[in-house]
Amino acid sequence: MTKIPVHIAEKLLLLQQGESSAASSVKHAVIEELVAENIVQRTGRIQKKLSITNTKALNIYLQNKFGINDLQQYIKTLSHENQNPLRNELTKISSHSKLKKVRTFKGFLVNCYEPIQAKINENKININPAAGTFYFIYDFETFEIPKNITVVGIENPENFRYIEKQKYLFKNIKPLFLSRYPQNQSKDMLKWLQTIPNNYLHFGDFDFSGIGIYLNEYQKYLGGKTEFFVPENMEQMLEKYGNNELYNTQKVNFNAENITEENLKRLFSLIHKYKKGLEQEIFIKN
């Protein structure tokens, strides 16, 4: 039965309420994943503390990964004072009565701003979502796209929503955009990418966390057909709009010596030069 231990849930609730907590008292795989996702951050050199960077993202994470809709009620129901909760009580706090990891659908979301002819189950389909809508590819095992299409993986949901406002970034390619979120769908996305010949371009945050996600989750498995997207005006944007906190609070969770892409090497150097990170939302044009 997959669930978050009550003592970890209690710490998460404190963080959710705006408090901080000593990192040494909150050790669990869930916390490490939240830190890697930049939902929780560690600060301090000697006595490290944890705090929430994105409450909304934490709520989405808890709902998608554990089916937890109400963290406070989750703790109350599973506390020592209530050793035998009824099935209907569990259903109220979780989208699954056994608190198993919830996975409503296999597959992933796709989006594009120019129509793309594709196939699924040998049937031709036209991918052309109306503004404000996406396509969900369920039978991804049979999903085929033309070889001249570049698959662009997007980390942030807002960037995925407003791709038409970022057309200027992708003038030289015909892209099909894939969303990394909900994150529990990303393994299906990776499985599909491994089966197709198309090139993969990763569009994420321009900081250590973003680089780490790319190297550890994508390049590691897709090899030479991958590339980390770095806009031409990266230095000017990083200098003008970069965030020092993204530099100061993030750790390098990858071996920098393994970076082989010239654009990525340049980005890594620029991040150190300006001691700043840059979130990808800045490239959405109003």
Which of 93, 123, 151 lies at the terminal end of a domain, its last residue? 93
Q: Examine the domain organization and report whether 124 and 194 are in the same domain.
A: yes
Which of 60, 93, 126 lies at the terminal end of a domain, its last residue? 93
Q: Examine the domain organization and report whether 273 and 244 are in the same domain.
A: yes
52: closest CA among 77, 3, 87, 17? 17
The pLDDT value recorded for residue 201 is 98
Which of 93, 123, 139 lies at the terminal end of a domain, its last residue? 93
Q: Examine the domain organization and report whether 70 and 198 are in the same domain.
A: no
The DSSP string of 150-168 is EEEEES-HHHHHTGGGGGG
6: closest CA among 64, 73, 57, 53? 73
CB neighbour list of residue 81: distance below 8 Å, 6 or more residues apart: none
- Tell me if 102 is assigned to some domain: no
Beta bridge partners, 135, equal: 110
CB atoms within 10 A of CB 270: 19
The pLDDT value recorded for residue 276 is 96
Number of domains in the chain: 2
Residuewise pLDDT in 10s, the chain (286 residues): 357 888 888 888 888 888 888 877 778 888 888 888 888 888 877 778 888 888 888 888 888 777 788 888 888 877 644 444 444 554 555 544 444 444 557 899 999 999 999 999 999 999 999 988 999 999 999 999 999 999 999 999 999 999 999 999 999 999 999 998 876 667 899 999 999 999 999 999 999 999 999 998 999 999 889 999 999 999 999 999 999 999 998 888 888 888 999 999 999 999 999 999 999 999 999 7
In this structure, what DSSP letter does residue 173 have?
S
- Tell me if 125 is assigned to some domain: yes
Q: Examine the domain organization and report whether 114 and 89 are in the same domain.
A: no
73: closest CA among 9, 8, 16, 26? 9
Residue numbers of the domain that contains 87: 6-93
- Tell me if 101 is assigned to some domain: no
Q: Examine the domain organization and report whether 73 and 173 are in the same domain.
A: no
- Tell me if 98 is assigned to some domain: no
Residue 26 CA from chain centroid, whole number: 22
Q: Examine the domain organization and report whether 86 and 157 are in the same domain.
A: no
Predicted TM-score of the model (pTM): 0.65
